[in-house]
Chain A
Amino acid sequence: MKTHSGVLVIAEQCFGDIHRVSYELLGKGREISQKLGSPLYSLILGGEGLNVEELNYCGADKVFYMKNKCFEKPEEFLFKENIVRFIEEQKPEVVLIGATSFGRSCAPRIAASLKTGLTADCTDLYVDEEGNLIQIRPAFSNNILAHIKTITIPQIATIRYKEFNEGKRDTNRGINITVLDAYVSLNDKSEIIEIFKDSDFDITEAKVVVSVGRGIKKKEDLEMFKELVELLGGHLGASRAIVDAGFIGSAHQVGYSGSRVKPKVYIACGISGAPQHIAGMKEAELIIAINSDSSAPIFNYADIGYVGDLYEIIPKMIQALKNNK
């Protein structure tokens, strides 16, 4: 008899909305649970009124809804305390957590409390012949892929957003929801004073990203790119070089130390294509590069390129797009 069984997906909610990574985890979790011949559970922690039956529809055999006001705001310690208690009782063999900012901040505490291994930011998972979960993750600034096995139980991994397909939604799937109260709802060591939005855009959700690099000479030159972005209905991205130069806020930065984006179309303007920039955009469906230097590495990653001065090309593109309307 195995002491632990079941695959547990920790679903994430952000201010009352279930984060889509949760459905992706259920999609992959289903596959893993079938291989292991064990059930797929999902735990979600939140306040009143979450659409938790969606977790059933998208693959969970059993949903545990831990309902308490204290989960309305993201604070790692309380989430961790409650998740750990739940895992100790439920004893799953595999735990999957979204590698979102909150997931990556919470997971190390969960794993350390359980004295078990944790693999961060996985891009793939499979089960080997002995029933071990093999976790694949990029390391060395995305230069290698490490295959990792965990010898303790549960095996915990955080999984990148937009890496897997969402679990197939089927409203005929049986609803099985257990509502629980929080084990602990107070943390006197940490207090959230205020929550605020600084920008109302999320570059990782954009369908089109137009990114600008050191090819521009001054901050004011960003205006023409804003116009282009407007015409294409996208978001403005940036290389670290112009973020560091103070031309634009860090929420726009694409790359290894910025956001990783996967838009349908990525347009890189005056960006050389340093490995740290490529790490953040190479998975875009289509990449267009504009650069005055024909030997710039960005062309090795692009589908369509233009060798020329962006001060000439961008106004032309804007005009041509307007004419096309």
Chain B
Amino acid sequence: MKVVVLVKEVPDMGKVRFDTEKGVVDRSSADAQINPFDLNALQAAVDLKNLYNGEVTVITMGPLRAERTLRDAYARGADNCVLLSDKHFSGADTFATSRTIAAYISKLYDYDVIICGEKSIDGDTAQVGGEVADILNIPHAYYVEKINSISDKEIVVTINSLCGSKQLRKMKLPALISVTKNINRNELPTVKRKLKSLKIQVEKFGLSNLIDYISEEDTGFKGSPTKVIKVVVPKEKIKECKVYKDDFRGFFSDVLGALKDKKVL
């Protein structure tokens, strides 16, 4: 069973600072970390590997420093770590990113399942999975909360919610799934694997390695059909809250008035 996991490196959202005046995100204000939703994808892949004797390849596209995120993925159970990095790849939107990742996966050729997290906490788009699946012309399912079964030809999954219902779906392999955070609980890396992760070889691929699968103008900023023209950092609206303490009657009469006002009572 060959499982590919797509991960993204993102800033720690609790620490990153936003400049309201200039409308910029100061990425240097926070450490980079593996996108929290991708940890569930990685865990799902490692669980499959343990059940079916497989191999997990983790792919990330990003600057050279993203090697750290890949070492973290190794510590958590990945076997092969691949970094797609090139000056031409920078400034990519979801489509250019998907094309670059799909180019690498086409080159890889032999794979059964691709697993992604639900979305990234910085881009929030949840687009790369579906775009990669379409470029590779393989079926996909989003919001997967359970992998019911898998054989060497097909996978059966439970989709958490489509049109307000759950769905049990069978797909031919290779297929792509994105998983919800409820699919599993992340296991912590062992000390042994953590130490080993410092010594492993991260495979690096740039444009020249993928040139049979993608051309320069389809990558990075140049290959991106969407352009961010402006970023606005809205000021937090702090409400005037009427706070009660030790005065239940006052509180309740206010609440009752509001409920009536909103016609819910």
Q: Which residues of A contact B (CB under 8 A)?
A: 12, 14-15, 19, 73-77, 80, 100-102, 104-109, 111-113, 115-121, 134, 137-152, 187-198, 202, 207-208, 232-234, 250, 256-257, 264-265, 275, 285-289, 294, 299-308, 313, 316-317, 320, 324
Contacts and interface: CB of A to CB of B under 8 A. Distances in A.
A301 B241 CA distance: 7
Interface stretch (B41-49, B58-66, B230-238): B230-238
Contacts, number: 254
Contacts of B168: 192-196
B157 to A, nearest CB: 10
Nearest to B218: A115
B166 A195 contact: yes
A118 B170 CA distance: 28
A140 B244 contact: no
A142 B142 CA distance: 21
B171 to A, nearest CB: 5
Most buried by A among B225, B228, B254: B225
Most buried by A among B121, B130, B131: B130
Interface in B165-202: 165-172, 175, 180-182
Contacts of B79: none
A118 B172 contact: no
B255 A288 contact: yes
B167 A192 contact: yes
A102 B16 contact: no
B134 to A, nearest CB: 4
Interface in B58-117: 93-95, 98
A77 B126 CA distance: 17
A168 B194 CA distance: 60
A198 B166 contact: yes
Contacts of A76: 130, 140
Contacts of B233: 143-145
A287 B142 CA distance: 32
17 contacts: A74-B162, A101-B163, A108-B98, A109-B130, A144-B18, A145-B234, A147-B232, A189-B175, A190-B139, A196-B168, A257-B37, A265-B258, A288-B258, A300-B236, A300-B239, A302-B239, A305-B244
A307 B172 contact: no
Nearest to A316: B248
Which are the 3 A-B pairs with shortest beta-carbon distances? A108-B130, A117-B225, A14-B163
Interface of B: 13, 16, 18, 23, 25, 37, 93-95, 98, 118, 121-131, 133-135, 138-143, 156, 160-172, 175, 180-182, 224-234, 236, 238-246, 248, 251-252, 254-256, 258-259, 262-265
B136 to A, nearest CB: 10
A101 B159 CA distance: 11
Given A118-B95, A118-B226, A286-B258, 12 more contacts: A105-B143, A109-B140, A138-B124, A189-B138, A195-B167, A196-B167, A250-B180, A256-B121, A257-B37, A265-B264, A299-B241, A308-B245
Contact of B252 (A151, A152, A233, A320): A320
A297 to B, nearest CB: 10
Contact of A144 (B127, B181, B232): B232
Nearest to A240: B181
A133 B264 CA distance: 39
Majority secondary structure, B binding face: mixed
Nearest to A301: B239
Given A101-B143, A139-B124, A190-B169, A304 B161 contact: no
Given A105-B143, A192-B168, A192-B169, A112 B95 contact: yes
Contacts of A106: 130
B124 A140 contact: yes
A148 B231 CA distance: 9
A189 B125 contact: no
B201 to A, nearest CB: 32
A87 B264 CA distance: 44
Contacts of A305: 241-244
A289 B133 CA distance: 43
Contact of A74 (B127, B133, B156, B163): B163
A234 to B, nearest CB: 8
Nearest to B174: A189
Given A105-B142, A145-B234, A208 B172 contact: no
Nearest to B238: A300
Contact of B228 (A77, A111, A148, A196): A148
B225 A303 contact: no
A306 B244 contact: yes
Contacts of A108: 94, 98, 126-131, 133-134
A190 B140 CA distance: 8
A262 to B, nearest CB: 13
Contacts of A77: 139
A187 B170 CA distance: 12
